Structure 1
Amino acid sequence: MKERTVELFPAALPGVCPPGSVSDAPAEEAPGGAELEDKSDMERSCVLTAELVSRCISHLGHFGNGPPLYQLSLPSQNLSDVSILRNYAHLQKLELPHNKIKDLSCVSHMPYLVILDASHNEIFSFFGFQPPKSLKEVSFSYNRMAKMKDLSACSYLSKLELDHNSFSEITGLEQCCRLSHLRLAHNRISRISGLGSLPLTHLCLRGNQLERIEGLENLNNLQVLDLSQNRITSLSGLQNLCLLGSINLEKNLITEIQECKHIHDLLLLRDLSLLENPVQEQPDYRVSVVFLLQHLTVLDQEKITAEEKVSSVNKYDPPLDVVSARNHLTHMVYQLMQPQVLYDSSTLPSADSPYPMLVLTGPQGCGKRELAHRLCQEFSEYFAYGICHTTRGPYYGEENGIDYHFVSEEDFQNMILMGKFIQTMQYGGHSFGLTRDAIEDVAREGLACCVHMELEGVFSLKRCCFEPRYILLFPSKAEKYRDRLKSRGLYTPAQIEKAVSRLDVYAKTNIQRPGFFDNVMPCDDLEEAYQMLRLVLKEYLLLKEEEEEEKHNRASPDSTSMASANEPVAKPPSHLLGSGTLTSQSATALDPSNPSYRNYFTKIQAELSPENSPAEFASIRRRERLVREAIVGNSPGVYSQRFKSSAQKAPSSMQTHDSGSHFSEDSSSDESRASELSVPSSAGAFAGSVEPLNSSIVEPTLETLKDQLSSDQTPDQLAAATSPSSDRRPGSNVRPVLPPIPTGRKTPVVSSPKPPAGETESANMNG
């Protein structure tokens, strides 16, 4: 190796070495004896010699057809003079760390130099040489430089390390168009500047005097940033660095967790270190940062687990499913802790007959409250408004006890502890809740409850035992919706923007959860929305079928009345069927508990001609008496008796037992009483003789008959309730099919058991 080196570098041959080398040392000893000799040895040890170069140089190879290239590494050689290297023009990599070098002018004579490491020396001059054009990596760390100069000549410079110097300002780097790594740790820099739009990917400013982050907004390629050991108090200034993957902010002065909002949108950020910052003393510091920066994988040099991410989301922004599950569990526990109250007239849900409800949902200010009130006014025989509780103040035009029950937050929390609510939600900093008493008050009137609520309330209500129909009122035009909110003058600009932004939440819920809502309709125009809502409710209530039947009856009253008495009642579509309710409005036409039955006999008498026979009037009076007894509970409902009388001509599918079966001896009294009942041949007029009820066709046992009569259900309904069904109501997700909302029925007033006959008797029944 030594011989090959000498051949390639003739200047290194003995006798041709540069001045100052070992071969040029004087032959005679200088006067002074041993001291001079020691001094001469020390001087020689600080000067680089050709012999040392020959021992430490290594061949790197050829670059194309060019000259051979070499690497020289001289670490920790106590060198102070390396001027001999100006004769080594073919060096490509020069490493001189941990020496005492002050002058590097020899580098100007190395046109092929690519890598220069002069760290841990005593260099004062920043790039005190003519930089080679091919120079790419330079390290001047741990020197005594204080001022930077223009490096526009270093067009290929990609890595520059200037740690542990005395720089107070970053200058001269604007033209380094290929600089990707820059280190300026432990200097005296107090302000970040002079970086422009450099293509930096790694930047280290550790251990300086920085107080804020600035001058980085144009570093679009930055991926790793080290700002530790400074005086930074805010993360503002990092918002636009979308490629950042690692940020080191150890030993700074960050005090607020909310500072993480500035880097919330840096989706590629994976590693963040805030060690030894005051913010670590905040309660729930780690879980809060993990929540704000869900894309992190390492925080404070510790790996973030999936469990931490889930718990952070459930703590600060739980999904609606989690919130509803928690609320439902809370209300169930507190409700079970209270004394249970049973209402004789309650129609709240049971396993056999779910209580019908209608829920209008939609974003804030979409008009659902106005539509709910209007529906309850028009369909007053079917619906009543369910009044919720809220902790917010009343808006203009709202009245306590009509629109909401306005209560304080303390009272609201006390009601939760008392188990009053079945559903609660938080929105806009206020609490909203639907109590059991609000539904119970409506249920005792025999009506379906109509309420309105936000999406959070729908999720909570779906957890309980109620199975409402959910109708989503959705503003399809965001700008028109925003203008409507502004025109009301009730909301701040922030509230308006939040309400508009929640349109996406409703839309995604409807798309991602098919069948979550029973119906979706636009509400850009409230009048059009109400008309659509009326049509939907008429379909739910089967009022269209009733209207069509009435029109048909007017066209041919005789034929239709005869057909209605002898033919089985047609069932509605299967998706409207369910347990515990009537199958159609036509089937409920003679139900004594139906409010429409109040005027039933008046209509009959108006249709009767003056030539009616005494037998027909007697039949009418007998039916009035039976209805009266059925209302007060003394006898089965007249509708049930009517159905049994027509069972002889009904199809065989309506019979569940052998036609030859009879009542047992225990049922003889009921059988004899039933045989006395007479049933008209139609609902509109009576003609011919009245036939007694034939007990041979009544098939169930006495116990089954009593259950049927007490529930006022038709055999079709009982069959539908007992037979398994795989149908699923769209809005219930997993629950059985919700029955159609039944005809509203007020709790009947108990009349005297024996009112006078004739018109007085009819008037009492109509009342």
Structure 2
Amino acid sequence: MEKEGVLTAEVVSSCISNPGHISTGLQHSYHHLSLPNHNLRDVSVLCNYVYLQKLELPHNKIKDLSCVSHMPYLVVLDASNNEISDFFGFQPPKNLKEVNFSHNRMTKMKDLSAYSSLSKLNLDYNRFSEIIGLEQCRKLTHLSLAHNKILKISGLASLPLTHLYLRGNQLETIEGLESLKNLQVLDLSVNRITSLSGLQNLHLLGSINLEKNLISQIQECKHIHDLFLLRELNLLGNPVLEQQDYRLAVVFLLQHLTLLDQEKVTVEEKVSSVNKYDPPLDVVAARDHMTHLVYQLMQPQVLFDSTLPSADSPYPMLVLTGPQGCGKRELAHRLCQEFSEYFAYGTCHTTRGPYFGEENGIDYHFVSEEEFQNMIHMGKFIQTMQYGGHRYGLTRDAIEDVASEGLACCVHMELEGVFSLKNSCFEPRYILLIPTKVEKYTNQLKSRDLYTQAQIDTAVSRIELYANTNRQRPGFFDNVIPSDDCEEAFQSLKRVMKEYLLQDEQEEGENNNSVGHEPEEKPSSPLSRSRSGTLTSHSATALEPLNSSNRNYFTKIHAELSPQKSPAELASIRRREQLIREAIVGKSPGVYSQLFKSPVQTAPSSLQNQDSGTHLCEDSSSDESRASSGLSVSSSAGALSGLVEPLDISVLDQTLETSKGQTSESPPPGADQQTSVLSSDRRPGSNVKAVLPPIPKGRKTPAASSPAPSPRPSPKPAAGEREEVEDREG
């Protein structure tokens, strides 16, 4: 009978298993029957087996399952790979949970509200064109309708589905899934889907299979960017794979992925993707610095006034930074006007157009994108940044124009520029100007009528970026000033500058001098910062500029110089030592060493070097040789040929006392030892320019080791005469 496709009791008895007891407990029953690949057509004999709980009849030729109506305890039914065309053609067992009707001939779904316990339903490889009748299946968690003819997703509203498989259908859009809040696994492979829109609210999704669809844009991943539990994504067979850097772009957009296109996502890929598409500010700054450094090295090498080391500190700079429109540019201009004897404005380059009232060459140098790129390739920039779709950059020439006048450079920039500048050899003081009243700041931006609403929103959002940088990087900024009121901010900035420039202490020192007190020594370069990052505080103990521990470039120079020197180099060193000695004792002005002391019109003292025959010990950079602070190549090159040991400050104290006793005229009480003011036509609106003065008042000359000086000091030689003396000595 089995050969004819009719199931017999003998066959059933040989295949039944899992014995148990019936409800009375007096008779035995069998709960599991499995009959795969028996070529069965008729299974009506199963009507007698009412206690079956699991029935498996795969790979037969069964067309009728009405016998299931007599199995009230049935839990699992597997009738896959048969010839069934009647969808659930039997009375519903009240406990039926799992049903597998895959690979049959069903064409239309019907209402399954009577199957209240149904949790898993497999309808793969049938002929369904729509999903209906499942609305009342409140326990259905797994639904598979792969390889049917479904055109759209519907009829799944409010179902507790966790797994949904719709592979191999005719779907073109993802819709009807918005209410499936419990969905965790979704298979939409082998369809015609072009967009991932419709998945953005499924926050429990952990796996999405979109293999062999029509997704062509990487930007489609933005729809699933906020699905933080998503771990697996398969986009194999989509046109999007042909786009450049496809994998890195997807990994960047979906940082939480662990498996992409069936390959594990490595930590290295995640880091590379972030560094490529949204690198941290310090990474961008490091890349820009390397670019500028390479292009600079390709140009002819020259010595710059703004970077040659002096006897105590590098070139002083001041940087004002803050969000867009916070007033840093206006404050920079006012500061340069108020402290014109100390600061000059460093004009940056930009590719954006001028705002109303801005002047080319004063506020910015406005250039085209092509010209900006050419300047990069020429090694012109020391710092560049991109903000708001435009490029900004600070050139070496902008700083050099200020440094050649013996002034400190004051510039303003966004936070990206600060990160870039911190990679360079410059060590400015950084002052953060930050709004504390967001509403007032927003109204100020709107009142200017210069920015779009998107630009205003971006500027406001960056306030927190500046605040976080200040909190997370202690010492990144040297001072923080609220910028809500422009006038108050400028007054605060003036107070900070006076502290940096030691003007308050200088005034106190002059008052003390007038009553017979000797002023304390002050740091010689207030706007400098040590290589280790320690700030020079105006309230700290005075630093000795000739102490090697306070000289930023000592180690760098020492490593570059050769211990072997030719006679010409030794002669040059002796000449530089003499010039430095003269600058230290006040005969000639130093280079940047006393940049921030107020100049006077006359020099009351004409101290002479009383130890002209004795050379300094090996340790000093010799760029002190120019009275106007612009270092010539010929006079500065010798500074790189040797080192001298740091001077003993006690010797300087004794010599200065001796020198004071030998001057023909004593300086009036409270007057500093400073040089005369020379005229300059390089700064419009100013007829005078402070020559860099000697060391601070109170520093003493070294004790004389040469023969006793004559009773009257010889007059200070003129500039031309001094050059002749230097040539004879050299």
TM over 0.5: yes
- Does the 8 Å contact 2:522/2:543 carry over to 1? no
> Compared with structure 1, are the counterparts of its residues 395 and 549 closer, same or farther at alpha carbon in structure 2 (3 Å cutoff)?
same
Counterpart of 1:47, as a letter, is V
d(CA) in 1 for partners of 2:660, 2:498? 36
Matched, 1:348 2:307: yes
Task: Show the counterpart of 1:501.
Answer: 461
Which stretch of the first structure deviates more once superposed, 347-356 or 482-491? 347-356
Within 5 A, what are the aligned runs for 1:715-726?
Answer: none
d(CA) in 2 for partners of 1:158, 1:506? 54
d(CA) in 2 for partners of 1:713, 1:370? 33
Residue 92 of structure 1, aligned match among 53, 61, 74: 53
Give the unaligned 5+ runs of structure 2: 524-537, 552-583, 610-623, 629-647, 673-691, 702-717, 723-730
Task: Show the counterpart of 1:697.
Answer: none
Report the CA distance between 1:712 and its aligned residue: 3.8
- Coordinate RMSD, CA, aligned: 3.7
> Compared with structure 1, are the counterparts of its residues 459 and 143 closer, same or farther at alpha carbon in structure 2 (3 Å cutoff)?
same
d(CA) in 2 for partners of 1:153, 1:415? 78
Count of equivalent residues: 599
Task: Show the counterpart of 1:16.
Answer: none
User: How much identity, in percent, do the aligned residues show?
Assistant: 68
Task: Show the counterpart of 1:563.
Answer: 517
Deviations 1:593-647 (A, max 9, x none): 878433457xxxxxxxxxxxxxxxxxx6x75999xxx99869xxxxxxxxxxxxx
d(CA) in 2 for partners of 1:633, 1:673? 22
Task: Show the counterpart of 1:400.
Answer: 360
Query: Alignment partner of 1:574: what SS?
Result: coil
- Does the 8 Å contact 1:63/1:69 carry over to 2? no
Q: What TM-score do the two structures reach when normalised by structure 1?
A: 0.72
Matched, 1:329 2:324: no
> Compared with structure 1, are the counterparts of its residues 56 and 334 closer, same or farther at alpha carbon in structure 2 (3 Å cutoff)?
same
Counterpart of 2:379, as a letter, is G
- Does the 8 Å contact 1:654/1:715 carry over to 2? no
Matched, 1:287 2:214: no
Query: Alignment partner of 1:539: what SS?
Result: helix
- Does the 8 Å contact 1:183/1:203 carry over to 2? yes
> Compared with structure 1, are the counterparts of its residues 378 and 591 closer, same or farther at alpha carbon in structure 2 (3 Å cutoff)?
farther
d(CA) in 1 for partners of 2:601, 2:371? 45
Counterpart of 1:422, as a letter, is I
Report the CA distance between 1:444 and its aligned residue: 1.2
> Compared with structure 1, are the counterparts of its residues 600 and 675 closer, same or farther at alpha carbon in structure 2 (3 Å cutoff)?
closer
Deviations 1:152-204 (A, max 9, x none): 12222111100011111111111111111110001110111111121111110
Matched, 1:56 2:15: yes
Deviations 1:689-739 (A, max 9, x none): xxxxxxxxxxxxxxxxxxxxx9944699899xxxxxxxxxxxxxxxxxxxx
- Does the 8 Å contact 1:297/1:304 carry over to 2? yes
Q: What TM-score do the two structures reach when normalised by structure 2?
A: 0.75
Query: Alignment partner of 2:456: what SS?
Result: helix
Residue 386 of structure 2, aligned match among 426, 449, 463: 426
Report the CA distance between 1:397 and its aligned residue: 1.4
Report the CA distance between 1:458 and its aligned residue: 0.7
Report the CA distance between 1:118 and its aligned residue: 0.8
Query: Alignment partner of 2:46: what SS?
Result: helix
d(CA) in 1 for partners of 2:411, 2:543? 23
Task: Show the counterpart of 2:193.
Answer: 232
- Does the 8 Å contact 1:590/1:597 carry over to 2? no
Task: Show the counterpart of 1:165.
Answer: 126
Deviations 1:110-152 (A, max 9, x none): 1111111111111111111121121111111011111111111
Which stretch of the first structure deviates more once superposed, 501-510 or 88-97? 501-510
Residue 474 of structure 2, aligned match among 509, 514, 517: 514
Deviations 1:13-33 (A, max 9, x none): xxxxxxxxx6xxxxxxxxxxx
Within 5 A, what are the aligned runs for 1:183-582?
Answer: 183-342=144-303, 346-350=305-309, 352-549=312-509, 552=511, 558-559=514-515, 562-564=516-518, 569=521, 572-574=538-540, 577=543, 579=545
- Does the 8 Å contact 1:348/1:443 carry over to 2? no
Which stretch of the first structure deviates more once superposed, 507-516 or 418-427? 507-516
d(CA) in 1 for partners of 2:208, 2:377? 46
The structure with the largest alpha-carbon Rg is: 1
> Compared with structure 1, are the counterparts of its residues 558 and 524 closer, same or farther at alpha carbon in structure 2 (3 Å cutoff)?
closer
Report the CA distance between 1:521 and its aligned residue: 2.5
Query: Alignment partner of 1:182: what SS?
Result: strand
- Does the 8 Å contact 1:654/1:716 carry over to 2? no
Task: Show the counterpart of 1:125.
Answer: 86
Task: Show the counterpart of 1:678.
Answer: 664
Within 5 A, what are the aligned runs for 1:40-189?
Answer: 42=3, 45-59=4-18, 61=20, 70-189=31-150
Deviations 1:335-364 (A, max 9, x none): 121112335xx2435375211111111122
- Does the 8 Å contact 2:383/2:393 carry over to 1? yes
- Does the 8 Å contact 1:384/1:450 carry over to 2? yes
Query: Alignment partner of 2:309: what SS?
Result: coil
d(CA) in 1 for partners of 2:313, 2:450? 41
- Does the 8 Å contact 2:514/2:669 carry over to 1? no
Task: Show the counterpart of 1:27.
Answer: none
Counterpart of 1:525, as a letter, is D
- Does the 8 Å contact 2:585/2:694 carry over to 1? no
Report the CA distance between 1:87 and its aligned residue: 1.5
Counterpart of 1:597, as a letter, is P
d(CA) in 1 for partners of 2:128, 2:497? 78
Task: Show the counterpart of 1:597.
Answer: 599
d(CA) in 2 for partners of 1:323, 1:718? 48
Report the CA distance between 1:402 and its aligned residue: 0.7
Counterpart of 1:190, as a letter, is L
Report the CA distance between 1:258 and its aligned residue: 1.0
- Does the 8 Å contact 1:136/1:158 carry over to 2? yes
d(CA) in 2 for partners of 1:355, 1:65? 101
d(CA) in 2 for partners of 1:399, 1:63? 98
d(CA) in 2 for partners of 1:108, 1:301? 44
Query: Alignment partner of 2:53: what SS?
Result: strand
Matched, 1:655 2:614: no
Which stretch of the first structure deviates more once superposed, 304-313 or 132-141? 304-313
Report the CA distance between 1:590 and its aligned residue: 12
Which stretch of the first structure deviates more once superposed, 351-360 or 162-171? 351-360
d(CA) in 1 for partners of 2:263, 2:58? 34
Query: Alignment partner of 2:181: what SS?
Result: coil
Counterpart of 1:260, as a letter, is C
> Compared with structure 1, are the counterparts of its residues 502 and 63 closer, same or farther at alpha carbon in structure 2 (3 Å cutoff)?
farther
Query: Alignment partner of 1:46: what SS?
Result: coil
d(CA) in 1 for partners of 2:658, 2:51? 126
d(CA) in 2 for partners of 1:544, 1:711? 18
Deviations 1:452-471 (A, max 9, x none): 11111111100011111111
- Does the 8 Å contact 1:151/1:173 carry over to 2? yes
Query: Alignment partner of 1:324: what SS?
Result: helix
Counterpart of 1:473, as a letter, is L
> Compared with structure 1, are the counterparts of its residues 467 and 391 closer, same or farther at alpha carbon in structure 2 (3 Å cutoff)?
same
d(CA) in 1 for partners of 2:544, 2:139? 74
Report the CA distance between 1:519 and its aligned residue: 1.5
d(CA) in 1 for partners of 2:154, 2:36? 34
Give the unaligned 5+ runs of structure 1: 1-21, 23-40, 602-619, 635-652, 663-669, 687-709, 720-749, 755-767
